[in-house]
Amino acid sequence: MSEPGSETGSETGMTAAAVAGLQPEWMLTPVDRDSPAVTFGDVSMSWRDVELRGRRVARALDGAGVTTGAVWGVLAHNGLEWVELTLGNVRAGARIVPLNWHLTAIEVAALLTDSGCQLIITDARLSDVAREAASIAGVDRVIELGPEYEAWLDGAGDALLTDRQAGSPMLFTGGTTGRSKGVTRSEVAADIAMWPELWSRWGTFVRMPDEGTALVTTPLYHALGTAVMGAALAKGLPVVIAGRFDQEGTLALIEEHRITSGPMVPTQFIRMLKLPDEVRARYDLSSLRWILHTAAPCPAWAKVAMIDWFGPVIYEMYGSSEGTGPAICDSHEWLAHPGTVGKASPRIEYSIVDDGGNDLPAGEVGTIYCKRADGAPEYHGDPDKTAAMQLPDGRFTVGDLGWLDEDGFLYLADRRVDLILVAGSNVYPAEIEAVLIEHPSVADAAAFGIPDPDMGEQVKAVLEPAVGVEIDVDAIAGFAAERLAKYKLPKSYDIVDALPREAHGKLKKRLLRDPYWT
């Protein structure tokens, strides 16, 4: 496999090594540049075309004034364009903001304002939201994928820009507990030629195979999907991008493309596990070598069932936009340490701290703090929030509760904001939700605390029924009573058509809980 920049490109007539001051001609190093690099539906794009279109995106951004350090946004569903937009941002040295397409125009506008976004690229289905948000935030230019986008690229050309530091994403927190905030990480900026090596190194740390084909079923506005996509491209692996998640459709894609790798989230696991046995048995999944999950707690029963079904190819990662990871564990480590989310990477250190700021010993639950070798992150434009998340020695937290075992494996209890106090006893909603979701009539569940005049708080549960099923609340309550202590049991249940869950699995529990507390 050749190194980046070592090939001669007929399109430019020069090599990166021959001309000082230019970016490397070839960032990605597949065996065959004319083979498919990315596939979406029935359409594929070669490695050569991905590179050339990435250069054109970089020049178009640069021509629009989105140059080194400038911020721009993408509001688009999964599609081929995400690859060239990602590479173009790297070459332009800019900051790309992947925008969550679940948000309203007002919510998107807040992100545009907070980030200082100068330009938005959107798809046709989201164009109205993007244009309304841009109008509110004072963003002058919105470019729609399709003819308008192609004309924009055609006017730019694909000549290489002058040398600059690699662009990077500006990630926003999920907004599951409050308003999303942009995160600025402390990593040292890298040369563009180093981008593939850095992403390949990340893939190696999370134990992604060096061969095969990757499938991205998670939304590319979320860091998990973009990270796995970036690592696959950096390793020279072709990527298949899926649209909206479909349980059986995902199994069909794995069989059709002989998928080896990919990210998933626990919600997807649960929905696939609830397919009829005859449907699950219909597809050949023997090509799988590595499925990485994160973003939300995975019930233990679902983890065991997935390992039984897919084989010991299930890997778990703990992390956040703020950089609290990665921690990683494979199937064998998880089975030996049930419930763990993994062990810390060499460049980070975890500690468990009580409410007084004191370190706790192994086995005791407290707030998870992280110390990174490259320093703590910052919330963009919010020094007060940045200060509130840190201890004086530089350790920081995102509010997760958990514990460490004697071997250094990390376990999550819940988020502090979700903790329920029933007569002074800690109740962790994730434990209750895992039990409720296990019932075959329940597609999804949320548990949270609501005011109680005698106990302080009581547990409230909201259930989403499985397709075609009418939930019997008494049956669910009996099912829970066999598996949970009495003080953990929900005192009341609501049934809704669908819970407010992000496509990457995180539940916006505040939308359910807040009305009871206002």
Model confidence pLDDT, tens digit, residues 476-488: 999 999 998 888 9
* Cβ contact 277:488 at 8 Å: no
Its pTM stands at 0.81
**If you average pLDDT over residues 495-511, what whole number do you get?**
83
Within the chain, all domains assigned CATH 3.30.300.30 are found at: 419-517
pLDDT, position 426: 81
**If you average pLDDT over residues 77-97, what whole number do you get?**
95
CATH classification code of 419-517: 3.30.300.30
pLDDT, position 54: 96
Of 186, 278, 190, 281, nearest to 234 by C-alpha is 190
**If you average pLDDT over residues 21-33, what whole number do you get?**
83
More reliable by pLDDT, 20 or 362? 362
Does the structural domain 342-416 have CATH classification 3.30.70.260? no
More reliable by pLDDT, 179 or 469? 469
Q: How far apart are CA 360 and CA 292, in angstroms?
A: 30
Across 161-198, b (16+ Cβ under 10 Å) vs e yields beebbbbbbbbbbbbbbeebbbbbbeeeeeebbebbeb
Q: Which two tokens stand for residue 374?
A: 């490259």
Task: Look at residue 53 and tell me whether its pLDDT is greater than 80.
Answer: yes
Task: Look at residue 327 and tell me whether its pLDDT is greater than 60.
Answer: yes
Q: Which two tokens stand for residue 178?
A: 């409050």
pLDDT, the chain, mean? 88
More reliable by pLDDT, 506 or 487? 487
Backbone angles phi, psi at 290, to 5 degrees: -160, 115
Within the chain, all domains assigned CATH 3.40.50.980 are found at: 190-311
Q: What pLDDT digit, counting tens, does each position of 364-387 carry?
A: 999 999 998 878 878 777 788 888
Task: Compute how many other C-beta atoms are within 10 angstroms of the C-beta atom of residue 239.
Answer: 26
Backbone angles phi, psi at 218, to 5 degrees: -90, 155
Within the chain, all domains assigned CATH 2.30.38.10 are found at: 342-416
Provide the percentage of residues in the chain whose pLDDT is more than 90.
62
Q: How far apart are CA 154 and CA 400, in angstroms?
A: 47
Across 65-96, b (16+ Cβ under 10 Å) vs e yields ebbeebbbbbbbbbbbbbbbbbbbbbbbbbbb
Domain spanning 190-311, CATH architecture: 3-Layer(aba) Sandwich (3.40)
**If you average pLDDT over residues 285-291, what whole number do you get?**
98
Of 86, 24, 79, nearest to 61 by C-alpha is 86
**If you average pLDDT over residues 89-108, what whole number do you get?**
92
Helix axis angle, 429-438 relative to 300-310, nearest 10°? 50
pLDDT, position 29: 87
CATH topology of domain 36-181: Rossmann fold (3.40.50)
pLDDT, position 117: 95
Top-ranked range on mean pLDDT: pick from 163-172, 242-251, 318-327: 242-251
Task: Look at residue 70 and tell me whether its pLDDT is greater than 50.
Answer: yes
**If you average pLDDT over residues 41-70, what whole number do you get?**
95
* Cβ contact 346:315 at 8 Å: no
Task: Look at residue 105 and tell me whether its pLDDT is greater than 80.
Answer: yes
Q: Which two tokens stand for residue 177?
A: 């507990």
Q: How far apart are CA 95 and CA 89, in angstroms?
A: 7
Bond from prior residue into 326 cis (ω within 30 degrees of 0): yes
**If you average pLDDT over residues 182-199, what whole number do you get?**
74
Q: How far apart are CA 383 and CA 214, in angstroms?
A: 39
**If you average pLDDT over residues 5-23, what whole number do you get?**
39
**If you average pLDDT over residues 65-84, what whole number do you get?**
95
